[in-house]
Every structure is written in C-alpha cells, then in structure tokens.
Structure 1
Amino acid sequence: MTLTALLTLAGLQALIAISPGPAAVLTIKTAASEGVRAGLAISLGLAIAIVIWASAALAGLSLIFEVAPFLQTTLRFIGAAFLIWIAISMWRHAPDPMPEAKTGPETSLSRLVRLGIYTDLANPKALAYFTAVFTGLLPIDPTLRDAALILVTVFTVEFIWYATVSAVFSRDTPRRAYGAAKSWLDRVFGGILALLGIRIALP
C-alpha cells in the first residue's frame, strides 16, 4: 500500500471520526460528567471497535452482506436497539448528581471500554462506511503488512480524535457548564441517541 493511499485513508477516517454521531455524544457526556480517565476509556473502546470493523472489511464483510443481506438488516436492528437502550439509561439517570472529576477505584474503566466498543459496533455510520466506502480504498490483494498498517492507522486516528475530545470536555469550565445543566443535557443527549436508533430501525 502506497504512502499516498495510506494518507488518504487516514484523512477519510479522520473526517468520519469528526462527524457527529453516537460516539461523539457518548464521549462528550462521559468526559464532562466523569473526567478524563473515563473519557479515555471510552475512546479506547471506540478505537478497538473501529479495528474490528476494519478487520471485518479486510476479511470481505461487504461480500458476506451481498450473499446474506439479512445479516446486515439484523446488525442494523441490534445497533438500533443498543442506542435506544443507552438513550433510556441517560434519561433515567439524568437527575443523578454529577460525580467528582477524578474517578475513584469504584469506577470500572473496563466497563467503559466495553461500552465504547459496543457503541461503535452499533454505530450505523461505521456499518455504512466500512461496507461501502472503506472497502473501495483497500488494495486489491492486501498483504499482511498492508493490513497491519491499515489497522494501526484507523486505530490511531480514532483514538487521537476522541482522546482530544475527552481532554477538552473534561476541563473545569466545560465540566462546570455541564454540571449546571446536567439534567436537561443528559435528556438532550439521550433524545439524540434515541432518534438515531429509531432512524436506523426504519427501512
């Protein structure tokens, strides 16, 4: 894979990461309410999920969907249900007080990593991108070296972007602003995720 092709892939991956979606909503909400460590855990999970999507694309995911289109429909509904579940959870816990900025030992960072993974695996934007656009950027017959470079690239781009988002929104000023309006902001974030979930479920 040429350097130009790899840079093109990195640039497109950055644009996809930057565009608003469930991952951005979850990262902002987590970093602002629970601090930078929690936000970084979410960021790591999101990056791991992107590697899973990219690996599936390298393995021929789009061809599998062509042969068995019901699998894509099934994944779409599972993703919709997961986003709606997160939305309901946000609404239920909207009135809860905001935790301290520094997460204590009781906070399960591994749980947040898993939440990040599940969120990006359920992300319709990722499903569409990796089954259509991403596959068109791949070499016709990628070598193991090509595959490794591609996976490292998408992981790095995804993690750096959401780690940056976490660092910004975990600072004192954004946290205070979030804390002052947590109840309705969580409902807004939950509403956005619910609408995204409903939109995914619709044909």
Structure 2
Amino acid sequence: MTLAAFATVALIHLLAAISPGPSFVVSVRTAIAEGFPTATALALGFGIGAAVWAAAALAGLALLFELVPALYLSLKLVGAAFLLYIAVSMWRHAPKPLPAADARPPRGTLAAMRLGILTFITNPKAAIFFGAIFVGLVPAGTSLPWLAALVAIVFFNETLWYIVVARVFSLPRARAAYGRAKSWIDRSLGTLLAAFGLKVALT
C-alpha cells in the first residue's frame, strides 16, 4: 500500500465523519447538556465504534453482508430501533430543566463511552462504507502494519472530530442558549434522530 492511498482513505473518512449524522446529533446534545468531559468520553466511544467497523470491513464483513442479506437487514433494524429509542428518550425528557453547570453529570465516563460505541456500532452501513473504500484503495496482500494504521487513522479521525464538536457545543454561550430553548431543541434533535433511524431501516 502506498502513502498516497493511505492519505486518500484518511481524507475520505474524515469528510464522511464531518458530515452530519446520528453521531453528530447525539454529540451536540451531550456536549450542551452534560458538558465537555462527558462528550469527550462519547467521542472516544464513537472512535472505538468506527475502528471496530473498519477492522470488520478489512476482515471481509462487508462481503458477508452481501452474501447474507438477512444478517445485514437484522443489524439495520436493531440499529434503527436503538436510534429511535434515543429519540424517544429525548422527547420524554425535553421538558426537564437543564442541570446546574456544577452539578454531577447524569452520565459517567464509561456510560458515555458505551453510548458512543452503541450509537456507532448499531449502524451496519459503516461496514459497507469502509468496505467500499477499502476494496478500491487497499491492495490485496497489504501488510498488517498498514492495516493497523488504517484502523488507527479511522479511530483518530472520528474521535478528534467529535472532540472538536464537544468543545464547541459545551462552551458557556452554547449552554446558555440551549437552556433558554431546551424543550424545543431536544424535541427537534429527537425528531432528527428518529428520521436518521428510519433512514437506516429503510435504505
């Protein structure tokens, strides 16, 4: 594998990570409502989830999904149900006031990482995405160090981007604006997340 091919994979994935999706919605909501440390742990969870799917795609899981469509469909439905669950939770808790800035966050580090991993891992489209990239850009017989580097850059891109999102949306001004319109914002983000869930299930 050439350095140019590696850089191309890294750039394509970074652009994909930046594009808004379910992870972005969950990250924004967590950063504003629970603060930077919790949202950073969430970002690490996203990075781990992305790395798992990248490794699975390199191992041939994307091809397995093509050979066994029922497996892919089952994972899609599970992923959609998980996103809808989060959306419903947002709607249910929308009227609750925002906790004080110095209050203990409702989610600990491990719980936030777990949410990040589950949010990412329940979207099997990630395996298809990585599989499509790797098929065209990763030559057969690529050495293990290069494969490990690919998984590492996927983890780095995903985690770094969502740490940036966490920093921006955890600033006091963002938190204050969110506090003034929490019910409306939570329901809007919940609706958007539900739409992503339905998209996962139907496409």
State TM-score, norm by structure 1: 0.93
AA at the equivalent of 2:157:
V
The aligned counterpart of 2:133 is 133
Cα deviation code 1:58-97 (max 9, x no counterpart):
1001221122111111111111111100000100111111
Measured in 1, the distance between the counterparts of 2:107 and 2:25 equals 20
Counterpart mapping for 1:27-176 below 5 A? 27-102=27-102, 104=104, 107-123=107-123, 125-176=125-176
Question: How many residue pairs align between the two structures?
Answer: 203
Assess, with a 3 A threshold, how the Cα gap between structure 1 residues 58 and 94 changes in structure 2: closer, same or farther: same
Secondary structure at 1:97's aligned position in 2?
Answer: coil
Distance 2:94 2:105 in 1: 23
Q: Deviations over 1:174-195 (max 9, x none)?
A: 1111111111100001001111
- The residue type equivalent to 2:79 in the other structure is G
5+ residue gaps in structure 1? Answer: none
For 1:106-155, what per-residue CA distance to the aligned partner results, in whole angstroms no more than 9, with x for missing partners?
A: 64210110000011112365244123234332221221101111011111
1:88 counterpart SS class: helix
Q: Report sequence identity in percent.
A: 47
The 3 A distance-change label for structure 1 pair 161 and 105 is closer
Q: Tell me if 1:178 matches 2:178.
A: yes
**8 Å Cα contact 1:22-1:123 kept in structure 2:** no
Runs of at least 4 residues off by over 6 Å: none
Partners of 2:105 and 2:73 in 1: CA distance? 40
CA distance in 2, matches of 1:150, 1:193: 29
After the TM superposition, which of the residue ranges 137-146 and 67-76 deviates more from structure 2?
Answer: 137-146
The 10-residue stretch of structure 1 (110-119 or 93-102) with the greater mean CA deviation from structure 2: 93-102
Partner of 1:191: 191
Residue segments in structure 2 that go unaligned for 5+ positions in a row: none
The aligned amino acid for 1:96 is K
Q: State TM-score, norm by structure 2.
A: 0.93
Provide closer, same or farther for how the CA distance between residues 103 and 119 of structure 1 changes in structure 2, counting only shifts above 3 A. Answer: farther
1:12 aligns with 2:12: yes
- For 2:76, the aligned partner's letter is R
Residue 27 of structure 1 contacts residue 39 of structure 1 at CA under 8 Å; is this kept in 2? Answer: yes
RMSD: 1.7
Q: Distance in 1 between matches of 2:2 and 2:102?
A: 43
